[in-house]
Amino acid sequence: METNKSEIRLMKGNEALAEAAIRAGLDAYFGYPITPQSEVLEYLTLEIPKRRGIVLQAESEVASINMIYGAAGAGARVMTSSSSPGMSLMQEGISYIAAAELPCLLVNVVRGGPGLGTIQPSQGDYFQATKGGGHGDYRLIVLAPSSVQEMCDFVFEGFKLAEKYRNPTLILSDGALGQMMEKVEFPEDGSLPHQIPTWATTGKKGRERNFITSLHMEPEKMEEINLHLQKKYKEIEENEVRYETFETDDAEVVLVAFGLPARICQKTVELARAKGIKAGLVRPITLFPFPKKIISDLSKKIDHFLVVELNAGQMVEDVMLAANGNCPVHFKGRMGGMLVQPEEVLEEIEKIVEESLTLNAGQE
């Protein structure tokens, strides 16, 4: 099969992500099987020996994230992927990686929790992904794809951002996106060049020694490290916010949803518009940095936000912070692996509109 040219294929989200990683110049992948993301490891163990790179099935997620730490520290372009319970196991390692400022790409194909939960899609790991997840003050750059095409595109984007900021980037996907098949167009193989960074531990030939650490015993030094990290996160917030809007220009009710529910909500907007309700949609693409400004701007001119998530209400807190009391923020969520339907979101919109009409009528 010709693999170095751009081409269009019909693929599962997990496989598209894995193929994209090879084309993006992945040096090494370390991972552990877990449903619903095992296709990533399966695809890479099949393809990498025929093409380029290293793929290794680790004994646990704890081991795989630490292999990522070692290989990223040695200057390789590396990726791991897992699903919710496995990501929980990786959190200590991710904190070390963020503290040591090692670029790498992490992928969470989220399943319903808490606990062992279910293997169906969920967005219950939003807090874990965007607020740190492990110990200490750190952030991941978080990208939320909503199509199989973006499962591919965000691999390239994820490596670019990780290497630009020396920061781990996380693709926050879900069980449905990982499993469903769609048309996907791949960029050319080798279109994302990579050089071994000067700080990497590759043997100190011709230079002073390098070391990778997150340990600083003096509190003054540790505060300095923290301030440096915070400065970097601020810079990321200023430069890397990504989102999409749909029908927001004249909207009175604006839906906010990320990932797959954003596509479901787009249908809801169409259904609402057909009924004469001026609905719109904001879809955050970067969950960190969160698109605060568009939410804040809209909050001053619309009547309602309705946040739709596959969880008990997590991103809704960030929307409320950005809206800062300018307009009511409502929430509709499904949990445990259930998807929302366009019609049930529409019902929620109708309820909100009706309630506010009654309220206004009562006031007049």
Partner 1 sequence: MQEEMLIEEMECVYKKPHTLTDEYMHYCPGCGHAVAHKILMEVVDEMGIQEDIIGVAPVGCSVFAYNYMNIDMQEAAHGRASAVATGIKRVRPDKYVFSYQGDGDLAAIGTAETIHTINRGENILIVFINNGIYGMTGGQMAPTSLFGQKTSTSPYGRDVAHNGYPLKMTDLIAHLPGAYYVTRQAVHTPNTVRKFKKALKNAFEYQKLNKGTCFIEVVSNCPSGWKMTPKETLTYIEEKMLPEYPLGDIKVPTQNKN
E strand intervals along 118-159:
141-143
Nearest to partner 1 of 71, 322 (CB atom): 71
Inter-CA distances, 356 with 23, 69, 134, 327, 359, Å = 52, 52, 41, 12, 5
Closest CA to 113 of 135, 145, 87: 87
Give me the least distance between CB of 51 and partner 1, in Å please. 16
Give me the least distance between CB of 204 and partner 1, in Å please. 5
Residue matched to tokens 């095992």? 38
Among 114, 203, 234, 343, binds partner 1 (CB under 8 A): 203
Residue 209 engages partner 1 in binding (rule: CB under 8 A): yes
Residue 62 engages partner 1 in binding (rule: CB under 8 A): yes
Residue 114 engages partner 1 in binding (rule: CB under 8 A): no
Residue 93 engages partner 1 in binding (rule: CB under 8 A): yes
Contacts of 321 (CB under 8 A, 6+ apart): 292
**Residue 93 in 3-state DSSP?**
helix
Among 88, 214, 245, 356, binds partner 1 (CB under 8 A): 214
Inter-CA distances, 189 with 43, 51, 210, 318, Å = 16, 11, 31, 38
Span from 68-76, 145-153, 259-267, 317-325 in contact with partner 1 (CB under 8 A): 68-76
Residue 71 engages partner 1 in binding (rule: CB under 8 A): yes
Residue 78 engages partner 1 in binding (rule: CB under 8 A): yes
Nearest to partner 1 of 58, 340 (CB atom): 58
Span from 138-146, 210-218, 231-239, 333-341 in contact with partner 1 (CB under 8 A): 210-218
Determine the Cα–Cα distance for residues 32 and 58; give it in Å rounded to an integer.
6
Give me the least distance between CB of 28 and partner 1, in Å please. 5
CA torsion sign for 269, 126, 98, 78 is negative
**Terminal Cα distance for the chain, rounded:** 70
Among 27, 182, 244, 350, binds partner 1 (CB under 8 A): 27
Single-letter residue type at 214? S
Among 88, 131, 180, 212, binds partner 1 (CB under 8 A): 212
Determine the Cα–Cα distance for residues 308 and 334; give it in Å rounded to an integer.
9
Residue 28 engages partner 1 in binding (rule: CB under 8 A): yes
Determine the Cα–Cα distance for residues 298 and 253; give it in Å rounded to an integer.
10
Closest CA to 19 of 113, 205, 151: 151
Residue 56 engages partner 1 in binding (rule: CB under 8 A): yes
> How many amino acids of this chain bind partner 1 (CB under 8 A)?
40
Give me the least distance between CB of 355 and partner 1, in Å please. 51
β-pairing verdict for 105-110 and 304-309: unpaired
Among 20, 67, 107, 184, binds partner 1 (CB under 8 A): 67
Residue 5 engages partner 1 in binding (rule: CB under 8 A): no
Among 5, 50, 211, 220, binds partner 1 (CB under 8 A): 211
Give me the least distance between CB of 154 and partner 1, in Å please. 23
**Residue 323 in 3-state DSSP?**
helix
Residue 54 engages partner 1 in binding (rule: CB under 8 A): yes
Closest CA to 305 of 260, 291, 150: 291
Closest CA to 333 of 324, 343, 345: 345
Residue 74 engages partner 1 in binding (rule: CB under 8 A): yes
Chain residues binding partner 1 by CB under 8 A are 27-28, 30, 54, 56, 58-60, 62-64, 66-76, 78, 92-93, 96, 100, 201-206, 209-215
